[in-house]
Amino acid sequence: MACKPVLPLLTLAAVHIAGLLPPVTFATSPHGFRATLTRVHRYPFNYSAAARRDGRRLASLSNAAAGGAHTSTSSSRGLLQALVENGAGAYHMTLSIGTPPLAFPAILDTGSDLTWAQCAPCTACFAQPTPLYDPAASSTFSSLPCASPLCQALPGAFRACNATGCVYDYRYTVGFTAGYVAADTLAVGDASLPGVAFGCSTANGGDMDGASGIVGLGRGALSLVSQLGVGRFSYCLRSDADAGASPILFGSLANATAGDRVQSTPLIQNPVARRAPYYYVNLTGITVGATDLPVTSGTFGFTATGAGGVIVDSGTTFTYLAEAGYAMVRQAFVAQTAGLSTVNGAPYDFDLCFAAGAAVVGDVPVPRLVLRFAGGAEYAVPRRIYFDAVDERGSVACLLVLPTRGVSVIGNMMQMDLHVLYDLDGGTFAFAPADCANL
């Protein structure tokens, strides 16, 4: 598994110094721009497979956050690891790169910062659906000097500086990625964005779910939204079975803050891992049926080492709660479903499952689930989002909320049919029920 990034052969004319490029401007709209997201797997997808992939992503998300307290090494490992583990409910966004532009599908990731694509010449690349981006064929490509702040924004443990430039080389649980940081024009939807720093991966292994790269929308300096300074972005994920395209809006177009159905809560920071790319929110209460659970600031709060906390994540499918909080939900759920018989959830990769019997799963009465956030935001979760049949015959239905030992994660199913806004400038996370097809 040799993985040596290879210096592409560049014509001198193609080499610019990215640090000297003018600031990014929006070629087509001074206010904002929009693009579309496509769900990788049809919904409802294979729930067990999704839960397994979630498990791997959760491990990386937790390592990255909690590791920040100990050594920069474990933190850095986790930060890139999260780039490549996505639940089966992942979304693709189409980006174009270079001049002339080459379009490719990238996995949308709010849990990481670096946007990357596979680049030619590739020493080891996974099969991708589109032609490889070739820096030598793009007239707007430039290398990124090691002294660039964006190179320095890469976690130190896997960054190196040598004659190739700003290189990264990382191995993760089920694969590896290595390459160098460069800059080129990216086109997203109707916007053309010159001089965006991204990772040119020349050696990769692993399963990318039909994507050719990742688009990083985290909170760190390297992320696409931070580099562009758009201030905010929003999306609305469609739950309909046909999985039509879902809108994602950047800048002034991301205006989910108007209207009386909008709920909003502060985005908070991990007090230990301040450079974590994650969007942390403050989950202050949960109601299951008639029961308000005794959630305290310790239930989902940060520990002294930066573990814990609750994030909103695009790449995790289901929702995962820290064990103490999950135990309360489970107990309240069981207490209010006395008429149903529980079955072992392990074979389905879930925890709390019920025999749905002859009844149509949708008809089994289950308690409502309401999440409450600091600042008064409330989310009454639609039933099919937290309780559904997980086998093909529809005979076993499970609670689609699971326990975790690390950071708690609100996954993308819980974000469906909502206009969800990440307001970086305002420091808030907002959401409102919406018809995503008509945004």
Q: Are β-strands 387-389 and 396-399 bridged in parallel, bridged antiparallel, or unpaired?
A: antiparallel
One symbol per residue from 263 to 282: x for binding ligand NAG (CB under 6 A), - otherwise; what is it? -----x-------------x
160 binds ligand NAG (CB under 6 A): yes
Angle at CA 60, nearest 5°, toward 39 and 86? 10
> How big is the chain, counted in residues?
439
Q: Which of 28, 71, 73, 297 binds ligand NAG (CB under 6 A)?
A: 297
Q: Which residue lies nearer to ligand NAG by CB, 179 or 367?
A: 179
392 binds ligand NAG (CB under 6 A): yes
Q: Pick the stretch among 18-26, 41-49, 333-341, 413-421 that binds ligand NAG (CB under 6 A).
A: 41-49
Q: Which of 21, 359, 374, 439 binds ligand NAG (CB under 6 A)?
A: 374
Q: Which residue lies nearer to ligand NAG by CB, 7 or 21?
A: 7
Smallest separation (angstroms) from ligand NAG to the CB of 222: 19
Cβ partners under 8 Å of residue 359, min gap 6: none
Total residues interacting with ligand NAG, rule: CB under 6 A: 24
Minimal CB distance residue for ligand NAG: 258
Closest CA to 58 of 282, 349, 398, 271: 349
Q: Which of 36, 255, 331, 336 binds ligand NAG (CB under 6 A)?
A: 255
Q: Are β-strands 408-410 and 310-312 bridged in parallel, bridged antiparallel, or unpaired?
A: parallel
Cβ partners under 8 Å of residue 397, min gap 6: 353, 354, 356, 361, 364, 387, 388, 389, 390
Smallest separation (angstroms) from ligand NAG to the CB of 20: 23
Helix (H) / strand (E) element for 81: namely helix 72-81
Closest CA to 57 of 348, 260, 313: 313
Q: Pick the stretch among 18-26, 108-116, 191-199, 251-259 that binds ligand NAG (CB under 6 A).
A: 251-259
Distance, in Å, from the CA atom of 67 to the CA atom of 122, rounded to the nearest integer, reads: 32
Q: Pick the stretch among 73-81, 228-236, 240-248, 294-302 that binds ligand NAG (CB under 6 A).
A: 294-302
253 binds ligand NAG (CB under 6 A): yes
Smallest separation (angstroms) from ligand NAG to the CB of 226: 22
The residues that are catalytic are: 109, 313
- Are the beta carbons of 27 and 189 closer than 8 angstroms? no
What strand order describes the sheet that includes 342-344?
Answer: 342-344, 352-355, 396-399, 387-389
Q: Which DSSP symbol is given to 248?
A: E
Q: Which residue lies nearer to ligand NAG by CB, 72 or 297?
A: 297
Binding interface with ligand NAG (CB under 6 A): 4-5, 7, 46, 48-49, 160, 162-164, 167, 169, 253, 255, 258-259, 268, 282, 284, 297, 301-302, 374, 392
